[in-house]
Structure 1
């Protein structure tokens, strides 16, 4: 069993190293699930086989020691060297391969349940959500806000709140579900979302926005200021970055397809999309630097991971810690 455990740990090390160096993609939820099952099997084996066998061996030592003492006493010898305690300790000692498997099962199970049904950590990988979220922010995602889902298959089994305009949501990228994205919910099922001439419209009404006081947002990477605005989506006020002078237009090559592609119309002014049932239109707060639903389409409900709500750490700026909109 020790050799088998060493092989399993070796395979785990190879898998994690390849994942870290982008040799292959990985599903952390699936990895945790497999680790939970494997350590549970070891825990059962320890509980019902190995531990009772060690306890029986310890009792046999006690019985043997008792017989030895009786024999010596019959010969008139009362003083006997006693190493029973150390011998029992050695017999009862859990081997390393059980300590590192069965012993870890409760911890891995707790992490798996916590991450699957309550809260999941997420690291902001890009600047698409600036100024709300910065690269390097470590955030928490509420996994049950939008309903309880089975891990791995992401099947909703208990409904809760529906995503609302303005929510910051983590979801599985529709074109590669092994990758998690984070954007803001802009359109919910039935909405007509337009982004024309750098302005956002929902169901024909322009979303209110007002410029923040000069000089705007300071981008440390480019070392220059960018125009910043305060936008109100539903009841949520949040900051956005956009350059009204850039007049970017958003297009989709006819060869680029996605589900419900026919719901979107592209022009030199921008894009207009009708959000289909069970789907959401997502955009980044850094409007000129965000690959989002304008380019790759809608996010289906089954891709939802959870609602982002709290920055629990940013090692470069501790003042970032706290709740956000």
Structure 2
């Protein structure tokens, strides 16, 4: 997430963002991590329920189509751990999150898809950064 969020940034969180609208691909969200004692963590939504995801040569493919990711930090194809991720079907009621700096992110590739009910809200602004 370093290309969007930097350490010690102050973020604006819209906790009502998903009351009347759906989570969208590209949204930067905050979720409650069950793995880390309910800590609040950020992540970028790249996969929605019932979509098939795959990373090939550093490029994200959703349902077989390559998705542009201008927010990915650096050349994702050159990051060894982000080059390949086999096909994965996002379960109903879940989203798949990837960090913008793929080699440094503990994201859904490692912790699994995130249940939508653990999403706290959408980050709309980070101090000193552009809107996301």
Per the TM alignment, residue 245 of structure 1 is displaced from its structure 2 partner at its CA by: 3.1
Residues 4-58 of structure 1: CA distance to partner in whole angstroms, max 9, x if unpaired?
Answer: xxxxxxxxxxxxxxxxxxxxxxxxxxxxxxxxxxxxxxxxxxxxxxxxxxxxxxx
Name the one with the larger strand percent.
2
Asked whether 1:144 is paired with 2:16, we answer yes
- CA–CA distance in structure 2, aligned partners of residues 177 and 278 of structure 1: 22
Asked whether 1:190 is paired with 2:50, we answer yes
Asked whether 1:239 is paired with 2:71, we answer yes
- CA–CA distance in structure 2, aligned partners of residues 171 and 297 of structure 1: 13
Flag the 1:177–1:199 CA change in 2: closer, same or farther, 3 A: same
Per the TM alignment, residue 240 of structure 1 is displaced from its structure 2 partner at its CA by: 1.2
* 3-state SS in 2 of match to 1:185: strand
Q: Give the 4+ runs in structure 1 shifted more than 6 A.
A: none
* 3-state SS in 2 of match to 1:240: coil
Counterpart of 2:114?
A: 299
- CA–CA distance in structure 1, aligned partners of residues 5 and 23 of structure 2: 19
The structure whose RCO (Cα within 8 Å, separation 6+) is larger is 2
Per the TM alignment, residue 246 of structure 1 is displaced from its structure 2 partner at its CA by: 4.0
Residues 78-110 of structure 1: CA distance to partner in whole angstroms, max 9, x if unpaired?
Answer: xxxxxxxxxxxxxxxxxxxxxxxxxxxxxxxxx
Unpaired runs of at least 5, structure 1:
1-128, 148-159, 209-230, 232-237, 251-268, 314-319
Equivalent pairs, count: 131
Structure 1 contact 165–188 (Cα < 8 Å) conserved: yes
TM-score by length of 1: 0.38
Asked whether 1:279 is paired with 2:94, we answer yes
Residues 287-324 of structure 1: CA distance to partner in whole angstroms, max 9, x if unpaired?
Answer: 1211100111011011010000012x4xxxxxx15x51
- CA–CA distance in structure 2, aligned partners of residues 249 and 130 of structure 1: 15
* Higher Cα Rg, which structure: 1
1:202-217 counterparts in 2 under 5 A?
A: 202-208=62-68
* 3-state SS in 1 of match to 2:2: coil
Per the TM alignment, residue 176 of structure 1 is displaced from its structure 2 partner at its CA by: 3.4
Structure 1 contact 172–303 (Cα < 8 Å) conserved: yes
- CA–CA distance in structure 1, aligned partners of residues 86 and 104 of structure 2: 16
Counterpart of 2:131?
A: 324
C-alpha RMSD of matched pairs (Å):
1.8
- CA–CA distance in structure 2, aligned partners of residues 192 and 275 of structure 1: 6
Name the one with the larger helix percent.
1
- CA–CA distance in structure 2, aligned partners of residues 278 and 140 of structure 1: 25
- CA–CA distance in structure 2, aligned partners of residues 146 and 303 of structure 1: 12
Per the TM alignment, residue 173 of structure 1 is displaced from its structure 2 partner at its CA by: 1.2
Flag the 1:246–1:185 CA change in 2: closer, same or farther, 3 A: closer
1:58-207 counterparts in 2 under 5 A?
A: 129-147=1-19, 160-207=20-67
Structure 2 contact 72–100 (Cα < 8 Å) conserved: yes
Asked whether 1:248 is paired with 2:104, we answer no
Unpaired runs of at least 5, structure 2:
none
